Structure 1
Amino acid sequence: MSDRSVSQIAETLKSIDIAMLVTKTGSEGAIAARPMSNNKDVSEEDGTSYHFATDDGRIDDDLKNSDQCGATYTSGEFYCAVQGTGKLHRDRALLEKHWVKDLEAWFENGLDTEGLILIEVSPKRIEWWEGREEGQLTF
């Protein structure tokens, strides 16, 4: 077991643009996953990450029904699994705070995209592996 701080893990996650964001879906609670950018927006204080989407897909319904979610990251020999809760935000000021220009490739109307939402993933546990090292952080 190796120790790394939240800020060290967050720095690594910032360098990995795409995570597989996982939610419970449907009435039976099946697992659904989809690739999402974290926009290099990962808190060094607590590992919280932020992802943009629109409310016309399944992800907003999933998080309304169950806030349990996770995200997985990989780069080279580094693997990370974040398990926690997801929260939907529509507040314009908060969306502006987390918006990055690169998102315009996915949301052609930028912050004015109809149904734009911000998904905040707050970790309860972060597990990571790199080569023969591994560790876990709990919150």
Structure 2
Amino acid sequence: MSKASDTRSLSDIAARLKAIDIAMLVTKTGEEGAIAARPMSNNKDVSREDGTTFHFATDDGRIDDDLKRSDQCGATYTEGEFYCAVQGTGTLHRDRAKLEKHWVPDLEAWFEDGLDTDGLILIEVTPRRIDWWDGREQGAFTP
């Protein structure tokens, strides 16, 4: 990703996203491609290199079907006067080794069988564009 602002690095923005934790993850849904959003934790798992985030869910909800139909997705974050919009692609992972790599113990509050939860999936959101605003400062990063 290239830097489009002289005030913050992508690593700075990724650190902010990691600290916020909860995002509204947005997908296209249904045959008509309507917009659907739901709160998702990034479990403080954010790549400082490119802003990629990782989110756990189960495959019995709409998000699994949405990302199978279209990998286009986004996430929005806010804290105080900081706002961030991520546009990117979502990849579904079911591989046990990949899930183990990104698992954190706090997730057991949501998935009581841990990594053995039926239908457990990992959603990897790879940014294609990140726009941010912080008070009077703003910037964007693109591939």
**Shorter-chain TM-score: what band?**
over 0.9
Q: CA RMSD in A?
A: 0.8
- The alignment of Structure 1 onto Structure 2 pairs a total of residues equal to 139
Question: In the alignment, does 2:132 pair up with 1:114?
Answer: no
The aligned residue for residue 45 of structure 2 is 41
Question: In the alignment, does 2:142 pair up with 1:138?
Answer: yes
The aligned residue for residue 78 of structure 1 is 82
Residue in structure 1 matching 2:93, options 89, 93, 101: 89
Runs of 4+ in structure 1 off by over 6 angstroms are: none
Indicate the SS of the match to 1:15: helix
Tell me how far 1:17 sits from its aligned partner: 1.3
The aligned residue for residue 64 of structure 1 is 68
Q: For structure 2, which runs of at least 5 residues remain unmatched after alignment?
A: none
Indicate the SS of the match to 2:20: coil
Indicate the SS of the match to 2:17: helix
Deviations 1:83-123 (A, max 9, x none): 00000000000000000000000000000000000000000
Indicate the SS of the match to 1:108: coil
Q: TM-score, normalised by structure 1?
A: 0.98
Question: In 2, Cα distance between the equivalents of 1:125 and 1:36?
Answer: 19
Question: In 2, Cα distance between the equivalents of 1:97 and 1:42?
Answer: 13
Give % identity: 81
1:40 partner amino acid:
K
Question: In 1, Cα distance between the equivalents of 2:6 and 2:107?
Answer: 35
Q: For structure 1, which runs of at least 5 residues remain unmatched after alignment?
A: none
Q: TM-score, normalised by structure 2?
A: 0.95
Indicate the SS of the match to 1:136: strand
